[in-house]
Structure 1
Amino acid sequence: MGGNAFGPWVAAIGALVRQGRARGWVTIDEVNAALAAPDVSAELIEDLLEALADLNIEIADESEAPVLRGPFPDRLAREIGRLVRWGQERGYVTRAELLAAMPPDQVEEARFNETVATLLGMGIRVVEG
């Protein structure tokens, strides 16, 4: 078997750390996804959680993730959460999706721009169309 057996983990953990640094937190589900393998030990998970804490990256429950909680009403928080999940799956969100999740009549421009910056910091591009 060629290549580095740890390659996928290294890439996934690197992405997790970049995402955590950009927004200050990661969810436990994201940690589990980064370490997705049947033979991951509890010790490895604990070591990663400690490393994230050392980097001042909070571990948040999916239902309490700070960017999803935010200062938004429940409906907007759900829409932004869905947008983040789509972006994490695809690597991008469209401007139309972002505007639908954060209607200009309900969200201040500064908050909209902060959300775009957060998405970019998470490695999620905002594209036209």
Structure 2
Amino acid sequence: MESETAPAAALEAAPAHEQRPFFVYGTLRPGAYNHDRFLAGRIGSEADAVLHGAVLHDGPGYPYVVPAEEGRVVGTLLTPSAGDYGELFGLLDRLELPVGYERVAMDVVRTGDGARVSAWVFLATPDAPLGPVIESGDWFKRP
């Protein structure tokens, strides 16, 4: 775990004007393995959300999202606790970027109030090992 969470000099925190919540849709969602391992106790707020215009693919133990005209992905919008943003920004990049993701700002919709929110989303890179599409768009409801 230390190598997964050790600071990386090349990765810096997002500038304050770019601090967005994170939209997570797989093992980083509340109740999932990596949420409990890396994010528990560091999140100030969370809200159910949906990413439209994307599909969810199964992967090698974790899912990938790919933009698509049709489709939707179910997930959670996570806002880090005050003072934890920079650390979590770097941690998530170190976890996700080496295994076939790229971080992109996208609009997601909070399901509770319908608000459109700009969030960081980790999308599949072109060489990511995509498995079959998860038709429900929900990692927790995959077959």
Structure richer in strand, relative to its length: 2
Q: So what's the TM-score if we normalise by structure 1? A: 0.31
Q: So what's the TM-score if we normalise by structure 2? A: 0.28
| Structure with the larger RCO, 1 or 2 (CA within 8 Å, 6+ apart) | 2
Structure richer in helix, relative to its length: 1
Of structures 1 and 2, the larger Rg is shown by 1
